[in-house]
Amino acid sequence: MTAGFQFIRSFLTGFSQIMLQSNSLTGLFFLAAIAVNSVPMCLAAVAGSLTAYLGAWASGAGRAHLEQGLYGYNGALVGLACALYWPAGTELLVILPLAALVSTGLMRLFVERLFFQRISCPAYTAPFILSIWLVASAVEVEPASTVVVTRSGIDNLLLGFGQVLLLDQPIASLLILVGLAFASRRALCWGAVAVVLSSGGAFLLGGVPEDIFSGAYAYNAVLVAIALSARAELGVMVVFAAILLSVILTGWLQQCGVPVLTAPFVISSWLALLLSSLSATFTSPASY
């Protein structure tokens, strides 16, 4: 396998890692979905992923982790968020590479366990979240477009997946579902269950219908379902509880005026894993 082919494969695999997969074909579908949704966002995602990848390589990151795309996906998400929050001007040219490099540094702390020896929780998208929150604390986020679009239940299903990559077009989001199906039909099915459960929970909690049908409450739940359903030690009820917790956290962060991003997913998943680990510790024979 040539070095160029391996790089392209790792680059595309990084995009698939956004939804916790390791499949270059899935990554290609995700990249195509971003391009269909918005060419500028696609360029920003590519720039963010390449910057994060090169930053990790230059700082001596492990080859296996680079090939698995573990450094590219947070950079890609950083690029997408930067293009959404700071869409024009010289700010984007400065913010994007800096935030992508920060995400790389944070990812190394998780992947190489430099500061997280005692925490058995994956990094997920925490480096992306912290990088954008750090930038948003210093640079004002431009308000999003307020154009009202009538959505349907099908739109909600599609955008529940598409919003993971900050996409707002159902057609583009359909490519996300197709790409995910190539990697894992189980993940796709769990994601669909999460959309239904989270949307119902959001309605019961008084969520704004326009927000619900746009996938705003569903995309974190989709990630929670994909991540936790893959953990054999967790039961179905734990997954359902974490999905509903992500809905509550989404509403709370919206009220706080903080960019929601994928924070509800990370917090809910970490909490479920930590509680499961503590439960296993206290109920094991060695603890008596």
Structural domain 7-138, CATH architecture: Orthogonal Bundle (1.10)
Q: Which two tokens stand for residue 235?
A: 């039961």
Placement of tokens 């009220």 in the chain: 255
**Cβ–Cβ < 8 Å for 14, 53:** yes
The pLDDT of residue 288: 47
The Cα–Cα gap between 71 and 57 comes to 9
Q: What is the pLDDT along the chain (288 residues), one digit of tens a residue?
A: 687 888 899 999 999 999 999 999 999 999 999 999 999 999 999 999 999 999 999 988 888 888 898 999 999 999 999 999 988 777 888 999 999 999 999 998 888 765 554 556 789 999 999 999 999 988 887 655 555 555 667 888 899 999 999 999 999 999 999 999 999 999 999 999 999 999 999 999 998 888 898 899 999 999 999 999 998 888 899 999 999 999 999 999 999 989 999 999 999 999 999 888 777 666 655 544
Contacts of 234 (CB under 8 A, 6+ apart): 228, 272, 273, 276
What is the domain partition of the chain in residue ranges? 7-138, 153-282
The Cα–Cα gap between 40 and 38 comes to 6
**Cβ–Cβ < 8 Å for 189, 143:** no
The pLDDT of residue 154: 84
The reply to whether 7-138 and 153-282 are identical in fold is: yes
pTM: 0.92
Q: Under the phi-then-psi rule, with left for phi > 0, alpha for psi from -120 to 50, and beta for the rest, what region is 139? A: beta
The pLDDT of residue 280: 64
Q: What is the topology classification, in CATH, of domain 153-282?
A: Ammonium transporter fold (1.10.3430)
